[in-house]
Amino acid sequence: MMKGRTTMEVGADGVAVITIINPPVNSLSLDVLQSLRASFDEALRRNDVKAIVVTGAKGKFSGGFDITAFGGIQKGKTESPKRGYVAVEVLTDIVEAARKPSVAAIDGLALGGGLEVAMACHARISTSNAQLGLPELQLGIIPGFGVRGSEAHDLGLVDAVVPANELLSTARRWALEIVERRKPWVSSLYKTDKLEPLGEAREILKFARAQARKQAPNLRHPQVCIDVIEEGIASGPRAGLWKEADAFEELLRSDTCKSLVHIFFAQRGTSKVPGVTDLGLSPRRIKKVAVIGGGLMGSGIATALILSSYPVVLKEVNNKLLEAGIGRVKANLQSRVKKGKMTEEKFGKTMSLIQGSLDYDNFRDVDIVIEAVIENVSLKQQIFADLEKFCPPHCILASNTSTIDLNLIGEKTRSQDRIVGAHFFSPAHIMPLLEIVRTQKTSPQVIVDVLDLGKKIKKTPVIVGNCTGFAVNRMFFPYTQAAMLLVEHGTDLYKIDRAITKFGMPMGPFRLVDLVGFGVGIATAMQYIEHFPDRTYKSMIIPLMQEDKRAGESTRKGFYLYDDKRKASPDPELKKYIEKAREISGISVDPKIANLPEKDITEMIFFPVVNEACRVLAEGIAVKASDLDIAGVMGMGFPPYRGGILFWADMLGSKYIYSRLEEWSKQYGGFFKPCTYMAEKAAKGAPLSSGPMEQAKSRM
């Protein structure tokens, strides 16, 4: 494998063009940085070189530091570069301090370290669509923001914006004009024209600290980023650089950075599926999509498709429902217009891609159908039997079911090889996850096609096997049930929601049940009672509340009370339902559970989820543990800075989790009983994410 490098060509005009080459995004590995340093040394040595232009090969300046190197350093496999090697030695003391001027010619992207290289140059010329940003906060290090080339020009980050075909010639001319003193020779490190006086700057940073604490209370690195900025303002740029170098080293080894780097690679690894994506199959082109059902899910799926320029046929059973479905799609797009994310012209063009239908006449040339009707087995079976008659033989038949066995859905067809699950999460045009569910009969070509479609509509696809709840809902079914168990044994439900949101979830289990609605909650719970009776906790709290016409947020009364603006507030009336449920279950308040600290609440809610994730992995429902980490982060909002459910569990250790579950199962029953897979891993002190000992009986 060829190492990353830079090349240098000197033109007749005396400008040395140094090009960064490290496909696919010209990332800055240590090899590239050493080569960049050598190229600069040579350019400075040569008498025929008057000025320097730095650019990237194939229309991309640089995607930043090589993140694979982070993982190597964190695991102790790669030696860390010496303190300050990149920021001080290469970028400041060689590039910025060079006695010949350099200009960065930016196209495509200049992210992270790539933008830092550009900022070390004495001027920056960019194309209008180039992406400039410092996204490292997403990896648990510093710093973080991002803009387009045109906006970067307005901010003063780049000096000129030009078309791509004029980029190099403009940069060369600019570099020579710096030599001739017709353009300013500026060292970015010493630019202070946009800095406020120290006292004022400190007030701004104090406000920024408070904002960061509010938005990311569990994260330290945004605060460190502000500390580094303050050091640079108060003690001068070099002091700031050294503080940044030390902070970077420390943060690189933090749990947060390890977790976020894991998520970065796990997200990119979900589309690698042994026995499917390694067969050399190319995805077939999908030219037209049909969606059956214009409810919340169907309209969201249709929105996601037309936003990525796919023509869509939306089918409903009558005009009233069809108009409502098209209306939902329209409202989804209008919301984007209101937020300034879409122009009126684009809105019109996008809406023109959807057509309504009350029959299957328009299905004769569709390449994929996504069924999104209510969870009713006989209805879905009838639809799939009809689809087989009306759709072309190559057409993929997909269901958005969240619980029903796909084999059952396709039972009355002879097309099992093209039946697949395409499980979106609500709202489908916003939530980033797509579970692609395969049965033992689904053909690899169909999976490759749906993977490609998923990526094109900007989803992260995860391949899972066919079982009740698939990956996300199956893993997280104990999440709400554990919360119910705790409440019946004496924990205050609002304390549970507070503890879980403090841990980093977008909302606690009770707020989530209100949002989803009690009807959906009970329907899915029935599936788990039927399929996993040994470990399902049956609580009467929700059925009792339902009897009193409470259904969650939609009725303004659930576990919380809701005002006109959907603001939730606690409801003192809930005590009567909880007490009645305790009577039915024959449970009395346990003083220990009533006074649980937040750490114990979090563990009693999430360790059963970890336990179920282990079963999903052991049964071969998931391809790999990292897929379950991504599924939990993108489907349920598990905090990415904790690395996903199994990555987080491995930080705590399999022995610890096993011992806690074992202890609780003796006190509170089979709901907490550790599964065999966990017991095996704990006995050996092995990571839970290491996969089954022997080839699991795969349901894929």
Which listed residue (42, 89, 116, 249) is catalytic? 116
CA distances from 331 to 303, 337, 553, 678 (A): 10, 10, 20, 47
Cβ atoms 638, 647 nearer than 8 A: no
CA distances from 490 to 8, 65, 523, 578, 692 (A): 71, 51, 26, 9, 37
Give the DSSP letter string of 255-324. HHHHHHHHHHHHHHHTT--TTTTTS-PPPPP---EEEE--SHHHHHHHHHHHHTT--EEEE-SSHHHHHH
Told to judge if 598 belongs to the known catalytic residues of this protein, a careful annotator would answer: no
Of 474, 473, 497, the residue nearest 484 (C-alpha):
497
Kindly report the number of other CB atoms within 10 A of residue 547's CB atom: 10
What tokens were used for 517?
A: 């609605």
Query: Which positions ≥6 away from 695 have C-beta within 8 Å?
Result: none
Radius of gyration of the chain (CA): 28
Told to judge if 116 belongs to the known catalytic residues of this protein, a careful annotator would answer: yes
Element (H, E) at 438: strand 433-438
Which listed residue (9, 42, 79, 136) is catalytic? 136
**Euclidean distance between CA atoms 169 and 182, whole angstroms:** 17
Q: What are the residues facing 6 on neighbouring strands?
A: 20
Of 29, 160, 44, the residue nearest 104 (C-alpha):
160
Element (H, E) at 420: strand 419-424
Cβ atoms 13, 176 nearer than 8 A: yes
Q: Residue 92 has what DSSP assignment?
A: I
- β 5-10/15-21 pair status: antiparallel
CA distances from 606 to 505, 672, 691 (A): 11, 11, 20
Continuous H helices in 216-254: 221-235, 237-252
Cβ-in-10-Å burial (0-12, 13-18, 19+) of 92 comes to buried
Which phi and psi (to 5°) does residue 472 adopt?
-65, -55
CA distances from 546 to 343, 516, 549, 551, 559 (A): 43, 14, 5, 6, 11
- Positions marked active-site: 116, 136
